[in-house]
Amino acid sequence: MTVSKKILLIDDDKDFVASNTDLLEAYGYEVFSAFDGESGFQKAKKEKPDLIVLDVMMAYDTEGIEVARRLQIDPLLKGVKILLVSGITKELKLPQSLKPDESWLPVTRIMEKPIDPCRFINEVKQILDK
């Protein structure tokens, strides 16, 4: 019997969380969710997920970035894989896309919203297979 991988979705968009929970569960993943950074951080400590799908813009524009940094310095969560999802580049009209960076943006990958479900599930599989 195979053990399913745990995925934590942290996003204030309840529709995004609901639709992606259904998608991920259809592929056999165990999914947990939180709707803000602090509760997401606490749920990550409790559930110890294999992957966290984290939104950038929640209560404030950089909440997800700050959560990613906290996750990577926490002894229990350091090294957890993070797929950052956001529309921040378009929303704030940034001149370039965000890129993972070990200290400033310590995440595994970044996807821009809106997210194509097929591309999303492929990204999740690739991250978890590494």
Model confidence pLDDT, tens digit, residues 42-89: 999 999 999 999 998 898 888 998 999 999 999 999 989 999 998 765
At 28 the pLDDT is 95
The Cα-based distances of 88 to 60, 67, 101, 119 in angstroms read 11, 15, 17, 19
CA torsion angle 101 103 105 110 (round to 10): 40
Residue 12 burial class via C-beta count within 10 angstroms: exposed 0-12, middle 13-18, buried 19 and up: middle
Which residue ranges form the domains of the chain, and what is each CATH number?
6-120 (3.40.50.2300)
Half-sphere exposure of residue 13, counting CA atoms within 13 Å on the CB side? 16
Q: pTM score, two decimals?
A: 0.88
Rounded Cα gap, residues 105 and 99, in angstroms: 7
